[in-house]
Structure 1
Amino acid sequence: MEFSEILSRRRMVRAYRPDPVPDDVLRRVTRVIRRAPSAGFSQGHRLAVITAPDVRARIAEIAEQPYVDAGLPAWISKAPVHVAVGIREASYHERYQEADKTDDGVEMVWPVPYWWFDSGALLSLVQCAATDEGLATGFFGPGDPGQFAAVHALTGFADDVALTGILTLGYSAEAPGAPPSGSAGRRAKLPLDELVTWRA
């Protein structure tokens, strides 16, 4: 699939068919983690691929009700795969304490927490890889710190890996060509000139 087609097809989906996703497809999708950008090649990205029905059901029990209350269908519980996206901040500090990254042996002061920035970049790559495989994705973050902690405990992540959210993944049950089921289906796209500034 051409990159422009991947971009045009990538969208957040709120309805999945029950078909399982083959392991080889999941491996192709998740291997993009090794291509994801990270400051100084810190490699702090982590993914947890969750296909176990009982674990997915428990995650849905924690996180799905607000979406149902808002009028959306039950979609977290229907997705055959949950991919937890995580980031290990310590990997960045460890990398920037190495000789080629320090200033007189002192780690830089981080102007922004680039581990969170890089986590978003990984998410976009996984979505594009899934789209290239004919899969659909959605994304959610549990609603409060307690829910985040409860979902984190189900991912298998180490304690020093922060959960940034869960990517739902599977084959779309939405009708081809239907408007997006989330906010993108209810809001108009802003004009390009409002989003891009040119300084020539």
Structure 2
Amino acid sequence: MEFADVLRARRMVRTYRPDPVPEDVLRRVVKVVHRAPSAGFSQGHRLIVITDPELRREVADLAEPWYLESGMEPWISVAPVLIVVGVREESYHERYRQPDKVDENGNEAEWPVPYWWFDSGSLLVMLQLAAANEGLATGFFGPHAEGLAELVGLPKDVGLAGILTLGYSDADPKAPVPRLDQRRMPLDDLVTWR
């Protein structure tokens, strides 16, 4: 697939077919964790791939009610794969306390932005693009449900960025989404040229 086609195919969906995703396809998608940005090559990313139907149901029981109460159709419970995106902040601090990263006084650099969260967003987009390249659709929900991190088995030192839903879309992936095109801001409102 051409990169422009992959970009066009990347969109958030809320409808999935129940078809399972082959393990080799899943492995190709999650392998992007090796290529994802991590400040100083800290490698603080942590993923949990959930295909077990019972655990997926338990996650949906915690996270989906808010969406259902908002009038949406079930989608977390329908997606055949959930990918937990976690980040271990301490991996960044450990890396930036190494001799090649400390300042002249031996101190860890200041963090003007918590790059562990920034990098987890980059990983999320890479997972979405890898999934689109495999003909899969993705959605995403944040860590809004109490007890979600514990349920999915994240270690205590790993923060939950959110969960990517993944599967084959129940909608035509090539069909335009006109309501989004109508709301899209002009490029010059988003980009300044100097």
Report the secondary structure of 1:75's partner residue.
Answer: coil
Deviates more, 1:37-46 or 1:65-74: 65-74
Among 145, 165, 168, the alignment partner of 2:165 is: 168
Which residue of 2 is the match for residue 80 of structure 1?
A: 80
**Are the equivalent residues in 1 in contact too, given 2:9–2:174 (CA < 8 A)?**
no
User: For 1:176-195, what aligned pairs fall within 5 Å after superposition?
Assistant: 176-180=173-177, 185=180, 188-195=183-190
TM superposition shift of 1:175: 3.1
Which residue of 1 is the match for residue 136 of structure 2?
A: 135
Q: Deviations over 1:147-195 (max 9, x none)?
A: 24x11112222110101000000000013444559xx748610000010
TM superposition shift of 1:71: 1.7
Count of aligned residue pairs for this structure pair: 193
Which residue of 1 is the match for residue 118 of structure 2?
A: 117
The 1:68–1:105 alpha-carbon spacing in structure 2 relative to 1, beyond 3 Å, is same
TM superposition shift of 1:124: 0.3
CA distance in 2 between counterparts of 1:48 and 1:188 reads 34
TM superposition shift of 1:6: 0.4
CA distance in 2 between counterparts of 1:176 and 1:197 reads 31
**Are the equivalent residues in 1 in contact too, given 2:44–2:116 (CA < 8 A)?**
yes
Please list every run of 5 or more consecutive structure 2 residues that lacks an aligned counterpart in the other structure.
Answer: none
Which residue of 2 is the match for residue 152 of structure 1?
A: 149
CA distance in 2 between counterparts of 1:126 and 1:58 reads 23
Q: Deviations over 1:21-67 (max 9, x none)?
A: 00000000000000000100100011100001111101111111111
Q: TM-score, normalised by structure 1?
A: 0.92
Amino acid at match of 2:193: W
Please list every run of 5 or more consecutive structure 1 residues that lacks an aligned counterpart in the other structure.
Answer: none
TM superposition shift of 1:141: 1.1
Report the secondary structure of 1:12's partner residue.
Answer: coil
Q: TM-score, normalised by structure 2?
A: 0.95
Amino acid at match of 1:162: G
The 1:176–1:120 alpha-carbon spacing in structure 2 relative to 1, beyond 3 Å, is closer
**Are the equivalent residues in 2 in contact too, given 1:13–1:180 (CA < 8 A)?**
no
Determine if the alignment matches structure 1 residue 198 to structure 2 residue 163: no
CA distance in 1 between counterparts of 2:42 and 2:24 reads 27
Report the secondary structure of 1:97's partner residue.
Answer: coil
Report the secondary structure of 1:107's partner residue.
Answer: coil
CA distance in 1 between counterparts of 2:173 and 2:7 reads 16
Measured on the aligned residues, the alpha-carbon RMSD in Å equals 1.6
Q: Percent of counterpart pairs with the same letter?
A: 61
Q: Deviations over 1:65-93 (max 9, x none)?
A: 11112221100000000000000000000
The 1:90–1:77 alpha-carbon spacing in structure 2 relative to 1, beyond 3 Å, is same
